[in-house]
Every structure is written in structure tokens, then in C-alpha cells.
């Protein structure tokens, strides 16, 4: 019998992020892939078998003693956060149980104050519509309403129209990303651990 593993973890931003007017939380969810038929409700044992730890760090560029530039990760509480700062989000996971955790799916919504930049794992999937559809960024599109402003001297201007709204579809961009997820192709074995990460930029 395949077990369903589901854990919800929410981590509140550090005080420095709040002081920089960044409100919200970094949430992580792990569950069985939706392709699994007739999932069995998770038991309390299953919930405690996977240990998750979320972490957010600020990426800064510094010059070392040799005059070389290097990237340093700092705790948000140790720096003043400003728009344009890069944030590295990391989800650490470990199976502390006795059974493999099969068909795992880890999903992270993008914090409202952070724009997605990139994922460390090339097998990560993205969504630009709130988690309805998924894929790599180059395969996703965005449909939105665009208002064409009336140009003086044209027919729309003579008719007194302020603009004409139309629906257009364009290629998705990093700024459109609303969620990121990782589907584990193989079970997480007992005692196995690892981490997933992605980068964002403070708006």
C-alpha cells in the first residue's frame, strides 16, 4: 500500500525583512504526487517521518582579503534589506522514518515581495497561474488583457474612445512565476536527506 505523505511548514520572515516592508511567509508543502490513485490519508507517523527546515538568506557580494569578489550568504537579521537584494531560499528535507517516502511532491508559493530568479535544480517546475499549470519557464505562456491607448488623429480618437482592450498571449517571464515545485522521481529512502533551493530578488 502506498502511503500519502503530507506536511505543511510555514516560516515567518526574520525581523530585518519585516523592517524592510517585506511581509508574508515562506511556505513549503510536501505531499504525494496527484497522479497517485486513491491516496490514503496520512497518519501521524507518516507526518513525523519527514523533517523539513526552511531557510532564507540574503546573497551579498564582498571583496575578500585578496581583492577578489565573492558571494556571501547572510542571515536576514544581520543586514538591512533593500529592493534589489537577492534572496536564497532553501528547503532541507530528511526521511527520519523506517519506510521510503514515495511519489513526493514539494511545492513553494513565491512570497509576494519576492520575484523569482532561478532554481538550483534543473528538474524543478514552475507555474505562472497560481499552480494550475506547470512546466519549465520557456514552455509557459501568460494571457492578459491589454488596453491600446487611442492615438490622436486615428479613428478611435475621433470616436472618443479612450482605448480598446484585447486579450493577448505572451511568453512567460521570471516575474510571472507564482509557484515552484519539485517532483521526486524516486522514493526518499529512510535516513536520506537533501535540499532544494531557488533564488529571488526583493521587489
Average pLDDT over residues 96-113: 85
pLDDT of residue 119: 95
Instruction: Encode pLDDT of 41-85 as tens digits.
Output: 323 233 458 788 888 899 998 888 888 889 899 988 888 888 899
Contacts of 59-68 with CB under 8 Å at 24 or more apart are: 59/85, 59/86, 59/87, 59/88, 59/199, 60/85
- Site of grid cell 497561474: 129
Q: At 135, is the secondary structure helix, strand, or coil?
A: strand
Q: Which range (17-26, 95-104, 192-201) has the least confidence?
A: 17-26
pLDDT of residue 17: 42
CB 125 within 8 A of CB 180: yes
Q: Where are the domains of the chain?
A: 7-140+173-202
CB 180 within 8 A of CB 120: no
Spatial separation of the C-alpha atoms in residues 8 and 6, rounded to whole Å? 7
Query: Could you tell me the three cell numbers for 80?
Result: 538591512
- Top pLDDT among 119 and 146 is at 119
Amino acid at each position: 500500500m502506498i502511503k500519502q505523505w503530507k506536511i505543511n511548514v510555514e516560516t515567518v520572515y526574520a525581523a530585518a525583512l519585516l523592517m524592510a516592508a517585506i511581509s508574508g511567509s515562506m511556505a513549503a508543502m510536501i505531499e504525494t504526487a496527484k497522479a497517485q490513485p486513491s491516496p490514503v490519508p496520512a497518519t501521524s507517523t507518516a507526518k513525523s517521518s519527514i523533517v523539513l527546515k526552511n531557510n532564507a538568506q540574503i546573497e551579498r557580494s564582498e571583496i575578500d582579503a585578496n581583492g577578489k569578489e565573492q558571494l556571501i550568504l547572510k542571515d536576514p537579521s544581520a543586514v538591512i534589506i533593500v529592493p534589489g537584494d537577492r534572496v536564497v531560499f532553501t528547503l532541507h528535507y530528511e526521511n527520519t522514518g523506517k519506510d521510503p517516502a514515495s511519489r513526493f511532491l514539494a511545492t513553494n508559493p513565491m512570497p509576494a515581495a519576492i520575484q523569482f530568479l532561478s532554481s538550483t535544480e534543473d528538474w524543478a517546475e514552475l507555474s505562472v497561474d497560481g499552480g494550475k499549470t506547470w512546466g519549465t519557464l520557456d514552455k509557459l505562456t501568460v494571457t492578459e488583457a491589454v488596453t491600446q491607448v487611442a492615438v490622436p488623429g486615428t479613428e478611435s480618437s475621433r470616436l472618443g474612445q479612450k482605448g480598446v482592450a484585447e486579450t493577448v498571449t505572451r511568453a512567460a517571464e521570471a516575474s510571472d512565476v507564482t509557484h515552484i515545485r519539485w517532483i521526486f522521481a524516486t522514493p526518499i529512502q529512510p535516513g536520506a536527506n537533501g535540499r532544494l533551493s531557488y533564488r529571488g530578488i526583493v521587489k
